[in-house]
Structure 1
Amino acid sequence: MKKQRTIIVLTLSLSLAIAGCSTEKKDAALGSSAQPTVVRTTIVKNSPLHTAYDLSGTLQAYEERTLAFQNGGTVASAEITTGTLVQKGTIIACLDDADYKLQVAQATASIQEALAGIDNAQANLQAANSAIQSADAGIANAHANVSKVNKGARAQEKQQAKVTVDKAQSAYNKAKADSERTQKLFEAGAATASDNENARLNATTALQNLEQAKASLSLLLEGATAEEHQSVQASFQDAIAGKTKALAASEQAEASQKQARANYEKALVAKDQAELALSRTRLTSPVNGVILDKIVNTGDLVASGQAVYRIGSIDRLKVLLPVPDSEIKDWKKGQQLQVALYEETRQGTVSNIYPSTSTDTGRVNVEIVIANPKRDWLPGQVIKAAHQVTDKNGILVPAEAVINTGSKPFIFKDVQGKAVRTPVELGNQVVENQLQIVSGLREGERIVVKGAENLFDGNAIQSEEGGRP
């Protein structure tokens, strides 16, 4: 680096010497000018001493990603071109989604079918529970009948049956006596045939009631028959079998309900998967960035995971600067430096210093990160960079202000409208075509920066900016 600075200074000095010789010749031929010479002046200031912008590199996206569809299919849209700036979330490509929409529709239908299955299973379960309740009621009734048959008639029922027989016997005796008396009266001509017939029918009815009452009493006294015992026992067994059947139906309905719910959950998952697959037919930008490369076109058939676009995040940019290994000790992580793109300069930060030299150049790559909030600097552009190797300030003047006759360089000061030739001593710093002055000038003095080659010592001068400090 020092050797390079020396070459730059010597080159500029040689140019200034040639200009100086030309000036001396003009001095000898023309002498002092009576009219003020119009020149451009500036005030001397202290400035930070940097290295020259002698490093360059190509801007890269701070973060690059290769974008791909997670599903395969035919590309329905991929219109965004290389170099396009995109916002995070922007859809940049789509697959043909007809099949995926059909899968969503099928999954939705499966959900409705599963819901219908749940409703049907619920209805069957309710019917089975009702059957169980009915079976319980039948068992209770059959059990009561069995108990009744086994126990026989109660004493109160038997006594009531005897009372009924006695009443029927009394009614019969009275009806029989009435029938006999009416018969005699009919034979004597004191009663009609109708009265006689009615009396005889009453007696017959009373006899039938008596016989029925006696039969009921006989049944109560004798108890249930074997056939009756078998009948009520069979009814009890039938009621138990009915409940067993109802319980089995209930268990089956519960199993069907569980299966229907499982089918419903499975259908929900299938729909989620179908909707996820459908959403994956749209490829969106994961960052604010620029399209670095377009790999496929509309109509192409792509597989899952196949690269479609390459995108870079450019809110920040990075650049690799090839620094000579002899100077790498002057670079530190976190160090600030100036970078320039055309006429614009920005501040960069050293983010990484590679641990080895490049096999191609023998230099060490230093990674610089540059903020790019407006995203107006783009990957692929070439920037120049310089970093401050000392925290000292010094006087820097434009190279054209310094004239070198071959013996010692000098400049012209503007002292109250007069050009005053002033010898200066140059340093070894060259920054953007400015030379370091280590002696001969002080901060705040005004010097001629344009038109000095036409001046003689003591010439009247006038600044084209119009004014002096």
Structure 2
Amino acid sequence: MKLPIIPFFLIALISCGEKSAETDQQIRSIKYGKVELPSGVKTYTFSGVAKAQNETNLSFKVAGTLSSVAVKLGDRVRKGQLIASIDPADYSIQSNQAVSQKEGAVANAKAAEAQLISAKSTYDRVAQLYENNSVALSEYQQAKAALDAAQAQYDAASSQVKTTDQQLMAAGNQMSYTRLSSPIDGVITAIEVQANEVVNAGMLIAKVSSLGRPEVEVNVPEVVINKLTMGQQATVKFPSLPAQLFEAEVVEIAFASEKSTTYPVKLKMISPVDEIRPGMVSEVNFRVGTDKEATRNEVVAPLKAIASGTEGNYAFKLIPDNEEGIYIARKVAIDLGAITEDGYIIKKGLKEGDLVAVAGLRALFDGKKVKLLEK
């Protein structure tokens, strides 16, 4: 009797199915704990708005017809980069006139100087003769009067040179004011005009916001404001950037209330963040409490969640997988603080709300799938 021949691909499929079933059976349940805030610490959450560290309104110091706008909304600019320019024709005429006036004043001053030298020479000669009784008093007085007149004319001519210097400088300034440049490195956040428009001195042309560490401003109620301190750290989350959590520090706490029950508080991001734009809405989380740990970004993890190896302390953070009820164990390096009655203070590596394995750490590895053993 011949045995039925089973095709090889069927054997392979059966084998794979057995391995898959075996893999499912190997996903074991483990004990877990939750990372929490230290005892006595409470989190307060307030809505905030992102702002540039520096936002500058740009305007011309002179009036005229706008000949060009050299940037577009959203452009990144460097300090000194041209933003817009005014037709300099009228100011060029004024500058040329100032140059001509300066040249005329210098020529007059040179002529007055030559006359003064001649009058001084004549006076010295006549004065010597007068001392020797060789000339009459009237001739001496005439030479002295001529010297005084020449000196007065020279002084007036010199003064005119200084005046034309100032006029020339002012005309040069007026010419330079026809070019509007960015005072900082930043991003163009507003453009209020178009080419060929007539603009006045002081009229808003554009806005430039600085790059680097953006700020967030929140309004804190009076029941919380006295619990905050300068330099205190907080976490900031933006709904438009849901996958990221940012750290910030308090840089300004208003003493007076602008509104009836809230006080403005300003925070600055710890590190530069290009993704944050002025006007973005945010959620700011402050940690406050009676102990000193409240103002730090520190949490408490169960004692059994921490293990040590050749590379230092670590824990296994449990991250939900796409499959329902399945978690992936991720090995994370831990910076430990003091031991408290609640567990280890975690300075770095975990955050509030994280789930961590608290048993069987030696059998776990990075990427292993597990289930949670419900308590």
Kept in 1, the 8 Å contact 2:253–2:265? The answer is yes
- Aligned counterpart, 1:174: none
Query: Aligned-pair distance for 1:85?
Result: 2.0
Name whichever of 333-342 and 52-61 sits farther off: 52-61
Kept in 2, the 8 Å contact 1:338–1:386? The answer is yes
- Where 1:316 maps in the other structure, the secondary structure is coil
Matches within 5 A, 1:221-300: 240-300=137-197
- Where 2:109 maps in the other structure, the secondary structure is helix
Unaligned runs of 5+ in 1: 1-32, 145-235, 405-409, 414-430, 456-469
State how far apart, in whole Å, the 2-side matches of 1:336 and 1:98 are. 55
Kept in 2, the 8 Å contact 1:399–1:435? The answer is no
Q: 1:353 and 1:112, CA in 2 relative to 1: closer, same or farther beyond 3 A? A: closer
Deviations 1:42-98 (A, max 9, x none): 999998636899655332112222222222222222232222222222221222222
* Pairing 1:393–2:300 present: yes
State how far apart, in whole Å, the 2-side matches of 1:76 and 1:44 are. 72
- Aligned counterpart, 2:249: 349
* Pairing 1:446–2:364 present: yes
Deviations 1:386-440 (A, max 9, x none): 4555544125644669999xxxxx9999xxxxxxxxxxxxxxxxx9995657x96
Query: Aligned-pair distance for 1:269?
Result: 1.4
Q: 1:114 and 1:339, CA in 2 relative to 1: closer, same or farther beyond 3 A? A: same
Give the structure with the larger strand fraction.
2
State how far apart, in whole Å, the 2-side matches of 1:374 and 1:412 are. 30
Q: TM-score, normalised by structure 2?
A: 0.63
Matches within 5 A, 1:20-31: none
State how far apart, in whole Å, the 1-side matches of 2:45 and 2:213 are. 23
Matches within 5 A, 1:140-155: none
- Aligned counterpart, 1:148: none
- Aligned counterpart, 1:86: 77
State how far apart, in whole Å, the 2-side matches of 1:329 and 1:365 are. 12
Selected match of 1:36 from 16, 23, 38: 23
State how far apart, in whole Å, the 2-side matches of 1:412 and 1:80 are. 49
Matches within 5 A, 1:115-130: 115-130=106-121
Q: 1:441 and 1:290, CA in 2 relative to 1: closer, same or farther beyond 3 A? A: same
Query: Aligned-pair distance for 1:270?
Result: 1.3
Deviations 1:348-373 (A, max 9, x none): 1122345678869x766542211454
State how far apart, in whole Å, the 2-side matches of 1:97 and 1:42 are. 78
Compare CA radii of gyration and give the structure with the larger one: 1
Selected match of 2:236 from 324, 339, 351: 339
- Where 2:266 maps in the other structure, the secondary structure is strand
Selected match of 1:317 from 214, 218, 235: 214
- Aligned counterpart, 1:367: 266
Query: Aligned-pair distance for 1:115?
Result: 1.7
Q: TM-score, normalised by structure 1?
A: 0.52
- Where 2:53 maps in the other structure, the secondary structure is strand
Kept in 1, the 8 Å contact 2:327–2:370? The answer is no
State how far apart, in whole Å, the 1-side matches of 2:353 and 2:321 are. 9
Please tell me the residue identity of whatever aligns with 2:232.
Answer: Q
- Aligned counterpart, 1:381: 280
Matches within 5 A, 1:16-165: 35-37=22-24, 49=36, 56-132=47-123, 135=126
Unaligned runs of 5+ in 2: 1-19, 289-293, 303-316, 330-349
Kept in 2, the 8 Å contact 1:131–1:243? The answer is no
Kept in 2, the 8 Å contact 1:114–1:263? The answer is yes
Q: How many residues align?
A: 305
State how far apart, in whole Å, the 2-side matches of 1:329 and 1:136 are. 87
Deviations 1:178-210 (A, max 9, x none): xxxxxxxxxxxxxxxxxxxxxxxxxxxxxxxxx
Query: Aligned-pair distance for 1:100?
Result: 2.0
Kept in 2, the 8 Å contact 1:118–1:260? The answer is yes
Kept in 2, the 8 Å contact 1:93–1:283? The answer is yes
Please tell me the residue identity of whatever aligns with 1:393.
Answer: V
Query: Aligned-pair distance for 1:128?
Result: 2.6
State how far apart, in whole Å, the 1-side matches of 2:328 and 2:125 are. 124
Percent identity, please.
25
* Structure having greater relative contact order (Cα 8 Å, sep ≥ 6): 1
Query: Aligned-pair distance for 1:135?
Result: 4.7
Matches within 5 A, 1:420-439: 434=353
